[in-house]
Amino acid sequence: MAMSDKSDWMPETLAEVISRLTARATRAAQRQAHMQSENGPRTLPDRRRTTKRKRHRPAYDVVRLVSKEDDLVVKAHLDDGYPQSFGGYGGWEDETRPGQTSATVFRGTSAPQLRLRLILGGWPRRRDVDCERDMRVLDHFARLPFDRKEDRPTLLRIRGQVPHHHRRWFVEKLEWGEVDVVRNTRVRAFVTVTLRMYVPVDLLKRRDPIARPTRSYTVKGREDLRRIVKEELGLHATNEITAAARYVRRMNHLKPGDKLKERIKLPRGSWWRREVKRRKTETAKPRAPKVWSGRARR
């Protein structure tokens, strides 16, 4: 191994160090300028645009009962303990069978309930705020109003960190507790509010197809039902004409071999297509599964 020259071991002078660092900085600037010319200017992202806007969240112990029907709001603080949610489960009952195990039948669940322990008023945090108005409004929520047409109390929305806050509720029961009075003014009141979820009544009645929009048609001579359906309903496909004729015959209480009446009813609109499709799916017979014969295809 050959020995290196003595000059290789000599330390660099200050001028050499400065020239080497200047050359490195020049090469880096040239590389950066080349990248910007090809890919565009390199700018740092604006933090004001990239950062997500924080949503305003109310305090964990603040609850608002909002009534849009009466345009009233009650703001209160939660007492010790998390809101209790109960009800809305189960719904199964036993149906006795002689000599056998009882069958379980689902009858439906009850409406969920929510129990809130609230503190009305601003005492002792804000001594200038009383709870007179909140007590009157909360009492109004629980009673049947006399100046409104609805035969039920007002419905409420709950704003706060409580379960099922997106549902509509009504006050089922109020249990008043201790009330603090200062100078003949109620400044703080403890109350337990029991709310029940409002479930609207939906009465679904199955309408008779004959009660749907129809129109009368006078049969001329010995017209065929398929021809009447084709011309009056504007059908072209054979399967549609057959299905429509069968449905019109059923609407007019006619059997396949009966003669047409002088005046018959024809459907108006396109609702009869949905009825035909629904009846076809209900009466469709399941196909038998194909059995492999074992013969290979050539």
Whole-number pLDDT of residue 174: 92
Whole-number pLDDT of residue 293: 55
Query: Residues 219-241: what's their mean pLDDT?
Result: 83
Whole-number pLDDT of residue 210: 47
Query: Residues 39-43: what's their mean pLDDT?
Result: 58
73: its two tokens: 């709001």
Would you say residue 49 has pLDDT above 60?
Answer: no
Whole-number pLDDT of residue 162: 81
Q: Which domains does the chain have, with CATH numbers?
A: 62-91+108-197 (2.40.30), 209-273 (no CATH)
CA distance readout (Å), 292 to 66, 205, 286, 287? 67, 47, 19, 15
Beta strand extents in the chain (DSSP E only) = 62-67, 72-78, 84-86, 92-97, 100-106, 113-120, 156-159, 168-182, 185-197, 214-218, 263-267
pTM for the predicted model, two decimal places: 0.48
> What are the tens digits of pLDDT across the range 254-292?
888 788 888 888 888 777 777 777 766 666 666 666 656
> What is the DSSP track for 209-275?
GGGSSEEEEE--SS--HHHHHHHHHT--SHHHHHHHHHHHHHHTT--TTPPPPSEEEEE-SSHHHHH
Query: Residues 197-206: what's their mean pLDDT?
Result: 68
pLDDT band per the 50, 70, 90 thresholds, residue 4: very low
Decide if 142 contacts 153 (C-beta within 8 A).
Answer: yes
The average confidence (pLDDT) of the chain is 78
Decide if 182 contacts 123 (C-beta within 8 A).
Answer: yes
> What are the tens digits of pLDDT across the range 77-117?
888 777 888 888 888 888 888 888 888 888 888 888 899 98
Whole-number pLDDT of residue 234: 81
CA–CA separation, 55 vs 177, rounded Å? 35
